[in-house]
């Protein structure tokens, strides 16, 4: 196996690109994929401040690393979700990485800042843990970005994540979610722009990137992920990808190019019904926003 770029001995193959790379050319390839994604979706304008949501996992630390190497003005944001040892450990990885690069890590903790954690919140609100967690993270990413004067929030969603989300939305023909599925969600009244610069990079590649660059990350899965539908969708897509490399990427990018423009109007309509939450000021379509409702049910305070 020879490196596609320098013809030296390769250490990793990327079957969907029908290519193999040596360590140096592979990290460059990852950076190039991210740079190309940022440019083609106009994710970050010159001089803009970026806040990258860092969980301590491979995707988010790899993204932070790549954005720093590309020269962006980027700080990290770690959210303590109060998921026992998993949260303690993941926070440590995020802090260690920040220290290793002399980078700034903004921290927010649900238990100490809002008086509840994800296990309690999900039980109190009778929501699946990942649903309570997802809505809390969205709220807190946005709030941290607005409070800190950041223009853009970047998350580490990779190709496998986005293809699995798309697969789930298609299986249910959920047009509202399909309309919102984009690598870039525009900013606006009460919203920071949200971007996913890793959509062209696969999960196996972010792991390899971290290993090659000597970046430590939390390997354990979140204990609350068990039974999560998302995992089943990923496995189904992996089975297809194994026999037909490139399918995952064709599925996602075919949707983004050809179908997303047709369903975008559904998301637009939703945005028009937004007004500030009377409790916290975040944009919402209901009387009180989902995060404030969750915090109230869990006995905390937004
Ligand atoms: S942290 Fe939260 Fe994930 Fe854990 S509870 Fe689910 S959504 S699995 S990325
Ligand atoms: Zn609110």
Q: Using one digit for the tens of pLDDT, what is the confidence trace for 177-233?
A: 999 999 999 998 899 999 999 999 999 999 999 999 999 999 999 999 987 889 999
Residue 5 lies in a domain: no
Query: Quick check: 300 pLDDT over 90?
Result: no
> What CATH number is given to the structural domain containing 273?
3.40.50.620
Closest CA to 136 of 21, 295, 258: 295
pLDDT of 28: 98
pLDDT of 268: 76
How many angstroms does the Cα of residue 118 sit away from the middle of ligand 1? 9
Residue 184 lies in a domain: yes
Give the pLDDT band of residue 299 (cuts 50, 70, 90).
Answer: confident
Torsion sign (Cα): 213, 214, 217, 221 = positive
Predicted confidence (pLDDT) per residue in 139-156, tens digit: 999 999 999 999 999 999
Residue 30 lies in a domain: no
Query: Quick check: 75 pLDDT over 80?
Result: yes
How many angstroms does the Cα of residue 42 sit away from the middle of ligand 2? 30
pLDDT of 265: 84
Give nearest CA residue, ligand 1 atom 6. Answer: 130
Its domain, for residue 142, covers 41-297
Query: Quick check: 74 pLDDT over 80?
Result: yes
Closest CA to 34 of 138, 166, 157: 157
Give nearest CA residue, ligand 1 atom 7. Answer: 130
Question: Phi/psi class of residue 227: alpha, beta or left (left: φ > 0; alpha: ψ in -120 to 50)?
Answer: left
Q: Which of 116, 224, 227, 232 gets mutated to test ligand 1 (max ligand atoms within 8 A of its CB)?
A: 224
| Ligand 1 pocket residue status of 56, Cβ below 6 Å | no
| Ligand 1 pocket residue status of 134, Cβ below 6 Å | yes
Predicted confidence (pLDDT) per residue in 223-238, tens digit: 999 878 899 999 999 9
| Ligand 1 pocket residue status of 130, Cβ below 6 Å | yes
Q: Structurally, how many domains does the chain consist of?
A: 1
Residue 6 lies in a domain: no
């Amino acid at each position: 196996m020879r490196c596609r770029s320098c013809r030296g001995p390769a250490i990793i193959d990327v079957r969907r690109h029908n290519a193999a790379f040596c360590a140096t050319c592979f990290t460059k390839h990852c950076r190039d994929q991210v740079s190309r994604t940022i440019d083609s979706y106009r994710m970050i304008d010159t001089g803009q401040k970026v806040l990258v949501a860092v969980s301590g996992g491979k995707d988010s630390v790899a993204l932070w690393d790549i954005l720093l190497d590309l020269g962006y003005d980027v700080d990290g944001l770690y959210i303590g979700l109060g998921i026992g040892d998993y949260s303690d450990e993941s926070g440590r990885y995020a802090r260690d990485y920040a220290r290793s690069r002399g980078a700034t890590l903004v921290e927010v903790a649900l238990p100490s800042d809002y008086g509840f954690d994800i296990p309690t919140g999900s039980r109190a609100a009778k929501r699946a843990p990942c649903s309570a967690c997802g809505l809390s993270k969205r709220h807190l990413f946005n709030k941290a970005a607005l409070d800190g004067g950041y223009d853009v929030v970047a998350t580490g969603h990779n190709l496998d994540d986005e293809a699995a989300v798309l697969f789930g939305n298609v299986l249910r023909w959920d047009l509202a979610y399909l309309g919102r599925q984009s690598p870039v969600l525009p900013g606006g009244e009460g919203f920071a722009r949200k971007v996913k610069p890793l959509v062209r990079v696969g999960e196996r590649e972010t792991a390899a990137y971290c290993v090659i660059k000597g970046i430590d990350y939390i390997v354990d899965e979140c204990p609350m992920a068990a039974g999560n539908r998302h995992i089943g969708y990923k496995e189904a897509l992996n089975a297809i990808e194994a026999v037909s490399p490139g399918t995952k990427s064709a599925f996602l990018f075919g949707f983004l190019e050809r179908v997303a423009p047709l369903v975008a109007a559904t998301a637009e309509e939703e945005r028009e019904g937004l007004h500030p939450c009377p409790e916290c000021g975040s944009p919402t379509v209901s009387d009180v926003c989902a995060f404030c409702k969750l915090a109230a049910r869990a006995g905390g305070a937004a």
